[in-house]
């Protein structure tokens, strides 16, 4: 068992449709469902999931057969299968072939028997009993797979699959609809095709349809389980697990933050979903910190991209050749750029945000922003008041602008930012001196400050592009003069490579890095803005499927403070789809 979906409970809704005599197409679908059920059971058992089913006799027997085989092959272990049956049927076990003790011996969880309900007619008794059974199935499940189903052509009101699909929709459970396999599932989808856009399974309508068309039942089962593993389902798990805890990490890199902003803007626009409510924690360093704070304050990523496009040349005035020459000379003696210019632009941009003004705790999501205290030679992490810091005094929470200035005060580019610590003054400089790639800072915050099991962490990390060959050319002068031009970029790149390698080893396939090589080597070359923006959009398109499935899907995270999102929802501007967007 590899544990890809440990503890995830998957409700198999439906039945194998009865085929009409001499209808070869329907018989093929029936056989395909039978093979698929056994394939799905095998994959789910192997990956640590639990199949939940309401004991429809046709499907139940196929699941039990698969369970017996898996138990035999695995050395006698009980399998992840939970059968729930209504007393309406189990009161006559011989007639309905119900053996609760046999099920208990085979299955990891004891079968559940729901009471028989009352009614004025036998039909009412049956329907009320089935309604109670469905409620219990819903309580026990994280995800629903609807397949086949009877009664659609004969008496639609009796068809159970549509009722169970509606339950999934009402309770916002991720849903997989395999309409290509026929039955009531297919009929209901033909009646309500918009359901494919409301499944909360991370797939587009086209991807969902293509999934059900896969010829191999084994491949279909594997693809569904792999997709389930990417979803932030509310899993009924033990205390040391739970739903995935999603982290977004944004690197430093000066004006190259245009690349990051373009990536985020593309994803928000195409998915029509906001970044802030799809991540439990956002970490950002330097230019990544400016972006992280903006996202936390409710700014759409497109507005942040516009900030770089429109204000970048004023913050980094390097477009004029004469200015670059003079700045290059003065840069040996004083900081290259004015911190007041950056401060004024940040105050204006953040001030217009839905959550602008006030302290960092106005953020709509948890934030972690690395900096460095040059006065005391100590690492600093600015954060929202989460975890053990939840009860700190309001006066100790920095403002968004101060935090952004502190994390972006790159040595020689900007002066250190004087601010107050909890007990002593601080002179803050760019967090990139120790955590330009803030992934390990964020991981430590999740595990040690918030108590999140590392197995739950799903991390998306976005760079600001990198130089492919910093040391690719020979250094003729081996002393300080030869290294002076390369050393900053070299140390930033090796730091990022180290962090990237650590995250791959600690998180495995729960870590996704998005970055690309570029020719933009300096932190302040505003002439590269258009090239970086275009490159960001192209890279975002390449990673779109993975990100929309694993992170920006239809299941937002829980607000980090109760009632926070509801209070400001009217002020949040949703991304708008433009002509030509996907």
Q: Known catalytic residues?
A: 286, 430
Tokens of 534: 């275009």
Q: Which residues of 477-516 are buried (b: 16+ CB within 10 A; e: fewer)?
A: eeeeeeeeeeebbeebbebbeebbeebeebbeebbbbbbb
**Beta-carbon neighbour count of residue 96 at 10 Å?**
15
What is the rounded CA–CA span in Å between residue 561 and residue 361?
10
CA 92 to chain centre: 47
Q: What is the DSSP string of 194-250?
A: GGGGS--SS--HHHHHHHHT-S-HHHHHHHHHHHHHHS-------TT--S-EEEEEE
Cβ-proximal residues to 193 (8 Å cutoff; 6+ apart), any chain: none
CA 249 to chain centre: 12
The CA-CA-CA angle for residues 209, 548, 529, to 5°, reads 130
**Treating both helix axes as pointing N-terminal to C-terminal, what angle do 301-315 and 287-296 enclose, rounded to 10 degrees?**
140
> Looking at the DSSP assignment, which residues form a beta bridge with residue 82?
52
Cβ-proximal residues to 102 (8 Å cutoff; 6+ apart), any chain: none
Cβ-proximal residues to 62 (8 Å cutoff; 6+ apart), any chain: 16, 34, 37, 38, 41
Q: What is the 3-state secondary structure (H, E, C) of 108-174?
A: CCCCEEECCCCCCCHHHHHHHHHHHHHHHHHHCCCEEEEEECCCCCCCHHHCHHHHHHHHHHHCCCC
Tokens of 302: 């497109």
Tokens of 349: 């941009």
What is the rounded CA–CA span in Å between residue 98 and residue 79?
18
Cβ-proximal residues to 28 (8 Å cutoff; 6+ apart), any chain: none
Element (H, E) at 434: helix 432-435
What is the rounded CA–CA span in Å between residue 194 and residue 417?
53
First to last CA, the chain: 38
8 Å CB contact between 15 and 57: no
Element (H, E) at 381: strand 378-383
- The rounded radius of gyration (Å) of the Cα atoms in the chain is 28
What is the rounded CA–CA span in Å between residue 62 and residue 420?
67
Phi, psi of 160 (to 5 degrees): -80, -30
Element (H, E) at 68: helix 57-73
């Amino acid at each position: 068992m590899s544990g890809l979906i440990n503890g995830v409970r998957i409700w198999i809704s439906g039945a194998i449709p009865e085929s009409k005599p001499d209808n070869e197409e329907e018989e093929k679908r029936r056989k395909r469902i039978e093979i698929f059920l056994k394939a799905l059971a095998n994959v789910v058992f192997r990956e640590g999931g639990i199949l939940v089913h309401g004991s429809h006799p046709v499907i139940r027997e196929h699941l039990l057969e698969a369970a017996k085989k898996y138990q035999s092959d695995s050395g006698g272990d009980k399998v992840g299968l939970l059968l729930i049956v209504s007393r309406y049927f189990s009161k006559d076990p011989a007639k309905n072939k119900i053996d609760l003790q046999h099920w208990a011996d085979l299955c990891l969880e004891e079968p559940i028997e729901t009471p028989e309900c009352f009614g004025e007619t036998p039909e009412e008794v049956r329907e009320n009993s089935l309604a109670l059974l469905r409620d219990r199935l819903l309580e026990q499940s994280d995800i629903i797979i609807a397949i086949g189903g009877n009664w659609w052509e004969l008496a639609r009101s009796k068809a159970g699959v549509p009722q169970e699909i509606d339950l999934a929709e009402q309770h916002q459970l991720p849903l997989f609809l395999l309409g290509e396999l026929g039955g009531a599932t297919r009929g209901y989808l033909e009646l309500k095709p918009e359901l494919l856009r409301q499944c909360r399974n991370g797939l587009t309508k086209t991807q969902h349809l293509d999934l059900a068309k896969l010829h191999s039942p084994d491949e279909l089962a594997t693809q569904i389980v792999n997709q389930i593993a990417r979803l932030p389902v509310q899993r009924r798990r033990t205390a040391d697990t739970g739903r995935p805890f999603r982290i977004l990490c944004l690197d430093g890199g000066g004006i190259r933050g245009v690349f990051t902003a373009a990536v985020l803007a593309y994803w928000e626009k195409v998915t029509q979903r906001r970044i802030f409510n799809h991540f439990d924690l956002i970490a950002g360093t330097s230019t990544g910190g400016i972006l992280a704070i903006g996202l936390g304050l409710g700014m759409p990523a497109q507005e942040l991209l516009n900030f770089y496009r429109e204000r970048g040349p004023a913050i980094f005035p390097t477009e004029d050749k004469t200015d670059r020459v003079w700045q290059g000379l003065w840069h040996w003696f004083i900081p290259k750029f004015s911190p007041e210019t950056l401060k004024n632009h940040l105050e204006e941009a953040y001030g217009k945000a839905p959550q602008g003004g006030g302290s960092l705790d106005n953020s709509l999501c948890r934030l972690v922003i690395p900096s460095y205290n040059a006065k005391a030679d100590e690492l600093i992490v600015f954060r929202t008041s989460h975890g053990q810091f939840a009860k700190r005094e309001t006066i100790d929470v920095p403002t968004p602008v101060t935090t952004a200035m502190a994390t972006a005060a790159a040595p020689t580019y900007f002066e250190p930012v004087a601010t107050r610590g909890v007990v002593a003054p601080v002179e803050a400089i760019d967090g990139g001196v120790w955590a330009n790639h803030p992934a390990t800072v964020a991981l430590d915050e999740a595990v040690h400050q918030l108590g999140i099991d590392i197995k739950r962490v799903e991390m998306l990390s976005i760079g600001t592009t990198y130089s492919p060959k910093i040391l690719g050319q020979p250094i003729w002068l081996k002393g300080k003069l030869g290294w002076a031009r390369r050393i900053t970029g070299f140390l930033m790149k090796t730091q990022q490579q180290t962090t990237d390698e650590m995250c791959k080893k600690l998180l495995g396939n729960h870590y996704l890095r998005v970055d690309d090589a570029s020719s933009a080597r300096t932190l302040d070359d505003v002439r590269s803005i258009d090239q970086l923006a275009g490159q960001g959009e192209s890279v975002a398109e390449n990673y779109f499927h993975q990100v929309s499935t694993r992170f920006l899907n239809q299941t937002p995270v829980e607000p980090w403070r109760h009632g926070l999102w509801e209070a400001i929802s009217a002020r949040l501007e949703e991304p708008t789809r433009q002509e030509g967007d996907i």
